[in-house]
Amino acid sequence: MKSGRYSRHELFLPIGKEGQKRLGEKHVLIIGAGALGTGNAEIMTRAGVGKITIVDRDYVEWSNLQRQQLYGEAEAINRMPKAAAAEQKLRAMNSQIEINGLIMDVMPDEITKLTEDVDLIMDSTDNFDIRMMINDISQKREIPWVYGACVGSYGLSYAIRPGITPCLSCLLETVPMGGATCDTAGIIAPTVQMVISYQSAEALKLLVGAEEALSGKLVSFDLWTNQHTAVRVDAVKKQDCLSCGDDRTYPYLSVSNLSRTAVMCGRDTVQIRPPVQVERDLPQLAETLAQHGGKVERNPYLVSFAFDHRRMVIFQDGRVLVHGTKDVTEARSLYHRYLG
Ligand SMILES: [Zn+2]
């Protein structure tokens, strides 16, 4: 251990030497390596959390650089998968902890495996299905998780503890969570930073065992209209909730409730998952696609194929992003034309 690395945590009485030791023994799973994920991951990494797993299905684009703090121009030019780029940057910040960046789409099977030895989950996704999956697995495995969301100048955060607080499913019926996403309504970076601060402060409290210090409230704010609220939501816990109630079924851990094809909100992009998991031979795929004309580019993680105002990005695990369309039928037909 480098001398003094965590001295400011140790001097901070609510953490102290004991709390710092606990942080070093914990495993945090961060789902999403976008705006919230990069910020949360940087704080957990610098804080000395013993093991960090960060998962993401996308790659870095120019529109990310305004707020996704671990990425620079090189990552956008090279279309680096976010999970791989984040892992590299985080390792450079702290070589004394274990950091794993995983390029994958989180589905029920994946989240079940990912959470085997996890102490805390940090929600850093912008996707409703994945968030509800986090909610279900957290209840099933009794792992606390910290919800966070932001759009425009508006942000929300809440720490969910199985058996103690209401879950996200309980909250959704009574609390307006907003339908807009940052792809349609835009976002300013301070909103992201504020949500990260709320999420990571609650995360540190949970990790060092300072439950009495938790806010216990759903916090929300609008930095542009200068509104801040914190609401007690204990009363919304529902006995008949399918995720945390007496007869729970964990609906979002059932694959049949999720589709193979997803329109990525506001992005003119459709994601297609292959019917069965395949490992793509990327160099060979690049050669085959080049024979169709169009522009083919490749890095170790993905192949990009641009043609007729459309672009397809194919990942090693067989997932494909079709850019330039929101039309699922068109995206599927392009998929079948070029990728079989
Ligand atoms: Zn519930």
Q: What is the mean pLDDT of the segment spanning 76-99?
A: 98
pLDDT in tens, 110-123: 999 999 999 999 99
Which whole-number Å values give the CA distances from 98 to 16, 48, 123, in the listed order?
22, 10, 20
| pLDDT value for 179 | 55
Q: State the Rg of the chain over Cα.
A: 20
pLDDT at residue number 142: 98
Please tell me the predicted confidence (pLDDT) of residue 264.
74
Centroid of ligand 1 to alpha carbon of 234 (angstroms): 11
The pLDDT value given to residue 173: 73
pTM (predicted TM-score): 0.91
Q: Residue 202 Cα, ligand 1 centroid: separation in angstroms?
A: 20
The Å distance, Cα 191 to ligand 1 centre, comes to 27
- Compare 177 and 276 and report the one with higher pLDDT: 276
The token pair that represents 2 in the structure block: 């480098």
> Is 182 designated active site?
yes
How far is the C-alpha of 51 from the C-alpha of 25, rounded, in Å?
8
Q: For residue 192, what pLDDT is reported?
A: 97
Dmax (CA) for the chain in angstroms is 64
Catalytic residue among 150, 167, 170, 182: 182
The answer to whether residues 120 and 26 touch, using CB atoms and an 8 Å cutoff, is yes
Query: Measured in angstroms, how far is the CA atom of residue 169 from the centroid of ligand 1?
Result: 5
Q: In angstroms, what is the span from residue 171 Cα to ligand 1's centroid?
A: 7
The confidence band for 266, taking pLDDT boundaries of 50, 70 and 90, is low
Closest CA to 59 of 314, 335, 272: 314
- CB-count burial class (<10 Å; 0-12, 13-18, 19+) for 230: middle
User: From CA 19, how far away is CA 24, in angstroms rounded?
Assistant: 9
Of 11-25, 216-230, 274-288, which range is least confident?
Answer: 274-288
CA of 43 to the centre of ligand 1 (A): 29
Say how many Å lie between the CA of residue 72 and the centre of ligand 1.
Answer: 39
pLDDT value at position 119? 98
Chain centroid to CA 286:
29
**Span 30-50, average pLDDT:** 98
Between the CA of 101 and the centroid of ligand 1 the distance, in Å, is 30
Q: Given this model, what pLDDT does residue 183 score?
A: 65
**What pLDDT, in 10s, does the model give residues 181-199?**
656 789 999 999 999 999 9
The Cα–Cα gap between 10 and 61 comes to 38
- 119 or 330: which carries more pLDDT confidence? 119
Joined together, the tokens standing for residue 259 give: 């589709």
pLDDT reported for residue 336: 87
pLDDT digits (tens, 9 = 90+) for 1-33: 567 999 999 999 999 999 999 999 999 999 999
